[in-house]
Amino acid sequence: MLSGRRLDLLDPSPMDIEIEDIAHGLARVARWNGQTIGEHGFSVAQHSLVVEEIAHYIDPSLEPKWRLAALLHDASEYVIGDMISPFKAALGVSYKDFEERLEHAIHARFGLPAKTPLAIKKLLKQADRACAYFEATQLAGFTVEESLGFFGAPPNGYQLTIRPEPPSVAQAHYVARFHALSEAAGFERKA
């Protein structure tokens, strides 16, 4: 990693994970394998920021630690990339196990439970699918009908206009949001 950490992908240690490495990687991984309109790809970092926002919109009482979990929901992709769901399914259980081990290490590093409670997982999946709906219709050339069929309707009243950011901007926004949520959750203190 650019931080100098060496991450063992088969046995990831929480001590080898840094938020700056995550943000750097996610800001450079494009959603939809880059098959989107615009000057910049829509990064996983930016996607994660939107998912956190949507999760809070759906549940305004969502605790900061679970908002942090929303921000980190795709954090493992900083080293393994963003694979489309059909490809993940084709790879089978071993890929899911690999992804889960990395997610557990990331959660441990930042003070979250290794296993996200089922109710929170469902909320994050709902927010993730809502974000995908907006991405599909605004960036990836899907019709509203196609997007509704694949992802369902976004939450009533939630509006989003996507403006893909350059990697350096997405990275900075991701790191800033991480620190704000970590502090709100009591995981880090201001000096």
Note the pLDDT tens digit of each residue in 6-63: 888 888 899 999 999 999 999 999 999 999 999 999 999 999 999 999 999 999 999 9
Question: Are 20 and 78 in contact, with CB atoms under 8 Å apart?
Answer: no
Split at pLDDT 50, 70, 90, the class of 92 is low
Q: Is 2 helix (H, G, I), strand (E, B) or coil?
A: coil
Q: Where are the alpha helices (DSSP H) in 110-157?
A: 118-138, 144-151
CATH architecture classification, 14-184: Orthogonal Bundle (1.10)
pTM of the predicted model over 0.75: yes
